[in-house]
Chains A and B, each alone.
Chain A
């Protein structure tokens, strides 16, 4: 019954594995899994609020590579940060647009396809080792056929001061197309890095993007990881991410979903060593019929770790946001400190929020809490601000901006924080990074 859906994707690749798919025969195993597993439907518990049917309605082609003018990157500049960047267009690496100077002995930053040849031992050591390959049909498809993505490896005891910016651009040139990205990131022992991923579409064509990332944080490592997602209103973005945190590692990750027809982020973090901390935040700004879904699993396997989650959304028109978060505390993970919070503001009566914060705890000496609130903009606060001389629109703008930027408050990299706050403000005023989005929240 699902065969047509599955064949649609397979016909794009004619069953030819990519170089990534050939790593340790992963592709073959993934393809076998794909063939026997149906795509999720709204009857699948983890997908009950997100309907993928429309992805399968139109035949997709392999999204082609094309060149861009380098001046395009003015949009991505951050005046206060030095940057290294990898650029992909429809899942194909653009060497010309990338800038990896100073990739010295502290850091390997290159496209994954070339890394297969040059960094073979590391690839063999890490690639596919999070069990993400056969997680679902999207990860299996990615494992078998993704052509490229980013490979980042930070060596032991190194601090990378430049911001690593991974830019994934899509443009179907009027066609409906499928684009895949496969990433592998390793942060070495006692090392520190900041990585920003931007998913940006350039046209109004319909692209289905399927990104899979594996991130390994060795003991004592520090990572700030930000995702900025601005697809166009016909685009689908499905991301699957696994993060392995070693002992005394500190991860701060942020997901900013600003535009797109449908975005689904599946993130699983395994905290596998003592003394680690994790902050996972998300902000969804959804309007019209946009649909953003964050599905977050935090697994505490070891004692004395801390995790905090804050997911917020502003939902306008007929848009929908979903938060599905689970904190799992294993029996051994005593003294776990976990907090999970989801806050939504519905700006119209037709906007929808689905919220499902969950705790599953098998240890007896832990401190875990979770909460979820969904409401309207606070009219009392609006009146209070008006009574001090602020116009209604200005008061509303101040309230919404304050609500949204709380998600970014804990970002330590000042340049990124300023950049993203500015993009949030722009978005609320009707602009995205490269063009108008014609929707104003501050009305």
Chain B
């Protein structure tokens, strides 16, 4: 089943074109990895899909579950099941993770026509999902991301992902700044959320993360377009040979 279809997507930031006619189709049950050198447009793609207003879409179509994604506000996208794990999670002083998640889960459930969770049910859900990413109770009581280490921030992203039960998960360089233990915890959290009805787009620089999250499809994004697509072995080839051979082929 087709979950996401991007056709000829063009996007600018400050009048500079970053995405230059990108095409991508993601089906339910699949894990797609998007790799590519710095500045190729990987994080822009993630931001455009999540609805960040600083990017301007100038051409192209994005359909998500048959609906026009670009027409939706960021919050509606989230409620419809799109989740972006941020490369740089934002600190929100004074708002605890628990209260933040209470508000977010409430909105998402309301949108999906699900009944409001009772306090005890919510706490049970929190407990279950915290366990998934080995998050301590102490951390959940703290303000969102405030004073968190790099690893704690990424763990918190995956925790929130688990809480909101998204359909399309986008991980924007979730491996950056992680030591090997944190990487393992984050990856096993992501793997536990894998299902036949959902899909994931994993944006990464390095093959390392793909040892833990095995992709079905690997894409190379370069200069605002997908220039090569292959199976998981493509990631290994990139690790070994770098991107130059692909870029040279294009010339």
Name the distance in Å between B44's Cβ and chain A's nearest Cβ: 14
Closest to A394 in B: B103
Check if A390 sits within 8 Å of B107, measured CB to CB: yes
- Please tell me if the beta carbons of A387 and B50 are within 8 angstroms of each other in the complex: yes
Docked pose: A84 CA to B142 CA in angstroms:
36
Q: Which residue of A lies closest to B161 (CB)?
A: A388
B92 and A385: CB pair below 8 A?
yes
CA distance A387 to B84 in the complex (A): 7
Q: Are A402 and B93 in contact (CB under 8 A)?
A: yes
Find out whether the CB atom of A378 lies under 8 angstroms from the CB atom of B95: no
CB-based contact A386/B51 at 8 Å: yes
B100 / chain A contacts, CB cutoff of 8 Å: 385, 388, 398
Contact with A along B78-102 (1 / 0, CB 8 A): 1100011010011111110001100
For residue A56, CB closer than 8 A to chain B, the reply is: no
B residues in contact with A386, CB < 8 Å: 51, 73-75, 78
The yes or no answer to B52 lying at the interface (CB within 8 A) is yes
Q: Is B108 in the interface zone, CB < 8 Å from A? A: yes
Assuming the contacts A387-B84, A389-B75, A390-B107, asked whether A405 and B90 have C-beta atoms less than 8 A apart, the reply is no
Residue numbers in B under 8 Å from A387 (CB-CB): 50-51, 74-75, 77-78, 83-84, 86
Contact present for A384 and B92 (CB under 8 Å): yes
Give the complex CA separation of A352 and B137 in angstroms: 41
Contact among B52, B91, B164 for A389, CB-based, below 8 A: B164
Min C-beta distance of A48 to chain B, whole Å: 31
- Is B160 interfacial (CB-CB < 8 Å)? yes
Contact string against B for A residues 389-402, beta-carbon threshold 8 Å, 1 for contact and 0 otherwise:
11110100011011
**B90 touching A402, Cβ below 8 Å:** no
Contact of A384 among B86, B99, B111, B164 (CB under 8 A): B86
Contact status A381-B73, CB under 8 Å: no
With contacts defined as CB atoms under 8 Å apart, how many contacts are there between chain A and chain B in the complex?
71
Residue interface bits A360-394, CB-to-B below 8 A is 1, else 0: 00000000000000000010110111111111101
What size tier do the contact residues of chain B reach? 20 to 34
Set B83, B89, B90, B103: member contacting A390, Cβ < 8 A: B103
Is A403 part of the contact surface with B, judged by Cβ < 8 Å?
A: yes
Q: Are A384 and B90 in contact (CB under 8 A)?
A: yes
| Cβ of B233 under 8 Å from chain A | no
Which residues of chain A have C-beta atoms less than 8 A from B93's C-beta? 402-403, 406
B2 in the interface (beta carbon within 8 A): no
Q: Min CB distance, A354 to chain B, in Å?
A: 23
Residue of A nearest to B170 (CB): A387
B104 within 8 A of A: yes
Q: In whole angstroms, what is the CA distance A402 to B78 when docked? A: 23
Residue of B nearest to A405 (CB): B94
Residue of A nearest to B93 (CB): A402
Q: Restricting to B39-79, which residues have a CB under 8 Å from any CB of A?
A: 50-53, 73-75, 77-79
B92 near A402 (CB under 8 angstroms)?
A: yes
Tell me the complex Cα distance, A390–B90, Å. 15
- Which 9 residue pairs spanning A and B have beta carbons closest together? A402-B94, A386-B74, A389-B78, A384-B90, A388-B104, A389-B107, A386-B75, A389-B108, A402-B95
User: What are 10 residue pairs bridging A and B, where the CB atoms are less than 8 Å apart in the complex?
Assistant: A383-B52, A383-B90, A386-B78, A387-B83, A388-B160, A388-B164, A389-B79, A391-B107, A392-B73, A403-B93
